[in-house]
Amino acid sequence: MSDIHVKIMLGLVNSLSLMFVIAFLLSNTKPFRRAVYGDKQTWRGTVLLSVVFGLFGILGTYHGFPVDGAIANSRAVAVVAAGLWAGPAAGIGAGVIAGLHRYAIDIGGFTAFACGLATVVKGVVGALAHRYFIRAKHRAVVGFWATVLGESLQMLIILALARPFTAAVSLVEKIGLPMIFMNAVGVALFVLLQETIYRDREREAAYQSELALKIANKTLPILRRGLSRATAAEACKIIFAETEVDAVAITAGREVLAHFGAGADHHQVGEAIQTHLTELVLATGRQQEAQVAQEIGCLHPGCPLQSAIIVPLTLKGAVVGSLKLYRTRSQGITPVERQLAEGLGSLFSTQLELAEKDMQEKLLASAELRALQAQINPHFLFNALNTVVSFCRTQPETARRLLLNLADLLRQNFVHHPDMVTLSKELEHVEAYLEIEKARFSSKLQVEYDLKSEDFLLPPFILQPLVENAVRHGIQPHPRGGVLHIAAESSVTCHTVTIQDSGVGFDVNNAVTSGNGIGLSNVNQRLRSLYGPQFGLDIQSVPGQGTTCQVRIPRREVA
């Protein structure tokens, strides 16, 4: 390797170092992070990334190393990385911006047009490699070889277009190897840097989900008693102890139920709320965030609370209170506090629904039906809450829909029902349960309906235990999941509902002793007590093939 090669490589190292420092600083800004790591690419994000990476390319030109009237530069790092990481539109856009600049500047020299064109070509190379890049296990390797290809094409373009030809050959001999190698390494390092930042964000999100669930697990038995000063105080103590916030508060309507931490001297229990931001949350039902004290709007002079995130607490779709996390410094609310507050707000609202359920449970008249309705599996409930939390940040509309399904499921289970309900009403209860399970298991659970029967009457909570048994003990344990088929038809003598799954199956004779058949036995006993031994529940199951449960209801009820 000649001295000129060494000098060029050292010059490129200096240029790359500056670009990496700026890239790292940009990675901590909200617009850049949203555009690069966002779940959905927008045209504004694409334009932003095109401009940012294009400016990086221009920076690489200005910090290049002059060689024989040309410039050995790190421009390729920006335009190839834009195509690989941000997508084809951003890659080509960055290539056009940096390429036009390279052609137009005064230091263009005899290679101005060739290098300008080559810059656009390198953006195209990054764009074409994007789909391979996003699926690759080792993305840095894809970035390295994509840059090698892009820079090699530039050398060919210089030889083809730059004149005089002898000068072009001499230039390529000097800059070819250093630029191809150093810029390829630069792109690989840039990819590793961005992947590290992305993994840090994922770990942060996972930590917040884990913390929210930990707090929810501790507060579940507390808020199940309803929203009162005592339960709010216990919940605030737990949040304050588990997090690093400076103050926590819970309100019911405009009343302060509990306030722990800074500001407790004037945000006192039993008094009316003193912050404009909380009034806004209660009025709009939307979370609000303040990064300076003026935005919080506390009426007390000298209040130490400087930033806040406030989320609504809801019950049956109505705002009944708020959960507030405070910091004593301005700009103190970070994505950590924001995600934590959002997750806790959703979980606490669900826990209030559970408290409402407990109150309604006391009104049930029939002891047998009360016992049946109370068979809400705590493991299912915890998993349902976990599923909702996982969607809160990425798919808030899906999380909202699942919370409504969960609330509907709990209401259906814990309000007083007549002795008989219609099939359509019973299926609404089943569908609310299945929506939550489908969100948990995604493609592992498929549901099919074949409803040909009349909308006849049947006892409440007959189908839900059968469906839950099919999902929990049939489809869920199967490594590939399965299909749940719900069919109903009417004949001259009876109505028949069939719940069939393609799950793992089980030994019918050992179902009750293993604990899997308690719900099935309960359904069978209720049907036989109402309609006689000729009706009831018929179960057929083959281990490894699935289970079929069939309910038969007479057309004319037996007294």
Sequence-ordered list of residues with C-beta below 8 angstroms from that of 481, at least 6 positions apart, any chain? 441, 443, 444, 445, 446, 475
Name the more confident of 175 and 12: 175
With a cut of 70, say whether residue 447 has pLDDT above it.
Answer: yes
C-alpha distances in Å from residue 204, one per residue of 288, 311, 346:
22, 20, 19
Does 483 reside within a domain?
yes
| 414 contacts 358 by C-beta, under 8 angstroms | yes
Cα–Cα distance for residue pair 172/233, rounded to 1 Å: 73
Does 559 reside within a domain?
no
Could you tell me the residue range of the domain that residue 253 belongs to? Answer: 227-339
CATH code (residue 53): 1.10.1760.20
The 8-class DSSP code of residue 296 comes to: H
Instruction: Specify whether 168 is located in the same domain as 261.
Output: no
CATH code (residue 267): 3.30.450.40
The 8-class DSSP code of residue 207 comes to: H
Last residue of a domain, one of 202, 236, 268: 202
Instruction: Specify whether 404 is located in the same domain as 509.
Output: yes
Last residue of a domain, one of 339, 373, 388: 339
With a cut of 70, say whether residue 227 has pLDDT above it.
Answer: yes
Q: What is the pLDDT of residues 497-518, one digit of tens each?
A: 999 999 998 877 665 434 455 5
Sequential DSSP letters for 390-408: HHHTT-HHHHHHHHHHHHH
Does 367 reside within a domain?
yes
Q: What is the pTM of this model?
A: 0.45
Residue 96 has a pLDDT of 94
Q: Could you tell me the pLDDT band of residue 328, with boundaries at 50, 70 and 90?
A: very high
Does 326 reside within a domain?
yes
| 458 contacts 491 by C-beta, under 8 angstroms | no
Q: Could you tell me the pLDDT band of residue 415, with boundaries at 50, 70 and 90?
A: low
Instruction: Specify whether 530 is located in the same domain as 410.
Output: yes
Closest CA to 313 of 290, 281, 289: 281
Cα–Cα distance for residue pair 496/550, rounded to 1 Å: 7
The 8-class DSSP code of residue 253 comes to: T
Residue 429 has a pLDDT of 81
Total number of domains in the chain: 3
Burial class (CB in 10 A: 0-12, 13-18, 19+), 197: middle
Does 220 reside within a domain?
no
Contacts 24+ apart (CB under 8 A), 252-261: 252/227, 252/228, 252/320, 252/321, 253/282, 253/320, 253/321, 254/279, 254/282, 257/227, 257/228, 257/229, 257/232, 257/233, 257/321, 258/229, 258/232, 258/233, 260/233, 260/236, 261/326
Residue 312 has phi, psi (to 5 degrees) of -80, 150
- Tracing tokens 């390092």 back to the chain, one arrives at 189
Instruction: Specify whether 109 is located in the same domain as 247.
Output: no
Q: What is the mean pLDDT of residues 288-306?
A: 91
Residue 180 has a pLDDT of 93
Q: What is the pLDDT of residues 148-199, one digit of tens each?
A: 999 999 999 999 999 999 999 999 999 999 999 999 999 998 888 878 877 7
Q: Could you tell me the pLDDT band of residue 414, with boundaries at 50, 70 and 90?
A: low
Instruction: Specify whether 51 is located in the same domain as 146.
Output: yes
Please report, rounded to a whole number, the percentage of residues in the chain having pLDDT higher than 70: 85
Instruction: Specify whether 368 is located in the same domain as 335.
Output: no
Residue 170 has a pLDDT of 92
Instruction: Specify whether 367 is located in the same domain as 327.
Output: no
The interaxial angle of helices 423-441 and 396-414, nearest 10 deg, is: 140
CATH code (residue 534): 3.30.565.10
With a cut of 90, say whether residue 420 has pLDDT above it.
Answer: no
Does 398 reside within a domain?
yes
Average pLDDT, the chain: 83
Instruction: Specify whether 382 is located in the same domain as 486.
Output: yes
Cα–Cα distance for residue pair 399/350, rounded to 1 Å: 12
Closest CA to 120 of 50, 215, 21: 50
Instruction: Specify whether 105 is located in the same domain as 158.
Output: yes
Among 25-29, 109-113, 234-238, where is mean pLDDT lowest? 25-29
Instruction: Specify whether 368 is located in the same domain as 333.
Output: no
Cα–Cα distance for residue pair 194/56, rounded to 1 Å: 15
Three-class SS of 53-73: HHHHHHHHHHCCEEECCEEEC
Residue 371 has a pLDDT of 46
Q: What is the pLDDT of residues 29-81, one digit of tens each?
A: 666 666 665 556 677 878 888 998 999 889 888 888 888 878 889 999 999 99
Instruction: Specify whether 170 is located in the same domain as 233.
Output: no
Last residue of a domain, one of 306, 339, 372: 339
Does 506 reside within a domain?
yes
Instruction: Specify whether 8 is located in the same domain as 118.
Output: yes
The tokens for 256 are 């302060």
Strands (E), 68-189: 70-72
Does 216 reside within a domain?
no
Among 233-237, 269-273, 394-398, 466-470, where is mean pLDDT lowest? 394-398
